[in-house]
Chains A and B, each alone.
Chain A
């Protein structure tokens, strides 16, 4: 069994078999992470650069930990303090790094398509760790892994993505993945934060009433309001957003069933989700973070043979 692709640029470009292979491999890596020595020698001959042109806590730490657990050598690049701040182009920066014998690139960039551009110009395997408002494939994979851990399968399950669908790469990657794995997908949020033709383009349900959406679903993946990507006023205030679209304890208690609550982080407490929900027993937010390391180990491992 091998992946059909050399890079992990987006869920859009990988097959159902690829997704299943990554998830089943991640399951074995999760076992590795429970051992007294949480490390395997698989990638000890591989050097990986983590190129983070955009801020990140979880994803960067998660990738770095995954690389270390696989015994890879790692180097970290962040925008601040680098020559990119002096005007060096992306391709020049990467070619300089690769000339120092680096095998794989993990990359986050605020421009959608940046890793795709890089993939056309360099020989190393690339993993997209989030590009602009396009995709965040490893987040979708760890979300899927976490849902399967809870529900056993994705097939036929009802997942709603709540909130800022417009600016969310997590939403797009999740939609691609969930559709490929046979789940039913709904997006819910204010009309200004939901792309106009998403229903036709992505074949998903659209719901503007949060309560109705939650009543329909098995799992609610609540997304962060991406204030840094919004250049116009899309809702009147955070307080008003919270009243209409915030997931609250009261709202969850009013449903006639118990749903699973997810959030890719970072959380805006009291905006898209209230603290007692985020920290409550229906929330699997911290399991998502834990599973992230195993899923990224799987992606790195499976792609490491391709360079």
Chain B
């Protein structure tokens, strides 16, 4: 196990992503932030705080999305679902999907399928902390990227909560 981003660097990366997001969308009225279970929600929880710090007067719409029922490998292994909570309409909104790691692109493809069952957003953007670009299996790329990382396919990269509550990104050898 190797630490790729420590707790302190994580805060810096999140702030940077928040700044990029605000630069593109100074007005957050029509923007909704949606974290993908589970790593994306861990990241989005923090990102929403960073966004709120940058623009304290604006209301941030934040929801969580779970792709379990939409997985394309569902028949290989049945997974227990995580909570889904999108307490607002996404019709004609700009949805910013948040995930910790962009790897094959299959999670994002499934997340888009889920979103479209909720409504027809005006635009969907993708914000990720880690991009493992060379392993993409679908033509999907992120609009906001924290860090590009060179990895082997069998390795696992994820954002995890530590015992003291702080978060960091680790690489596990496959």
Query: Which A residues contact B (CB, under 8 angstroms)?
Result: 1-2, 21, 24-25, 28, 31-32, 35-37, 39-42, 45, 301-302, 304-305
Contact = CB atoms under 8 A, between A and B. Distances in A.
Given A24-B80, A40-B69, A45 B75 contact: yes
Contacts of B80: 1, 21, 24-25
B164 interface: no
Contacts, number: 48
B84 A28 contact: yes
Contacts of B119: 36
Given A24-B80, A42-B69, A37 B75 contact: no
A35 B118 contact: yes
Contact of B66 (A28, A39, A45, A302): A28
Contacts of A25: 80-81
Given A1-B79, A304-B78, A305-B76, 6 more contacts: A21-B80, A28-B69, A31-B84, A31-B85, A32-B84, A40-B70
B113 interface: yes
A16 B126 CA distance: 40
B6 to A, nearest CB: 31
Which A-B residue pairs are the 10 nearest by beta carbons?
A305-B78, A40-B69, A28-B81, A1-B80, A37-B117, A42-B69, A31-B84, A42-B74, A25-B81, A302-B78
Interface string B66-96: 1011100011111111111100000000000
A252 B113 CA distance: 49
Contacts of A24: 80
Contacts of A42: 69-70, 74
B77 A36 contact: no
A184 B15 CA distance: 52
A31 B87 CA distance: 11
A1 B113 CA distance: 24
Contacts of B82: 28
A22 B83 CA distance: 14
Nearest to B76: A305
B78 A2 contact: yes
A29 to B, nearest CB: 8
Interface of B: 66, 68-70, 74-85, 113, 117-119
A40 B68 CA distance: 10
A7 B74 CA distance: 18
Contacts of A45: 75
B77 A305 contact: yes
B118 A36 contact: yes
Nearest to A2: B78
A28 B83 contact: yes
Contact of B70 (A1, A2, A28, A41): A41
B118 to A, nearest CB: 6
20 contacts: A2-B77, A28-B68, A28-B81, A28-B83, A28-B84, A31-B83, A35-B118, A36-B117, A36-B118, A40-B70, A40-B117, A41-B70, A42-B70, A301-B69, A302-B78, A304-B75, A304-B78, A305-B75, A305-B76, A305-B77
Contacts of B79: 1
A2 B75 CA distance: 13
A293 to B, nearest CB: 15
A214 B30 CA distance: 53
A39 B118 CA distance: 10
A41 to B, nearest CB: 6
A21 B81 CA distance: 10
B81 to A, nearest CB: 4
A25 B84 CA distance: 11
A41 B78 contact: no
A40 B76 CA distance: 17
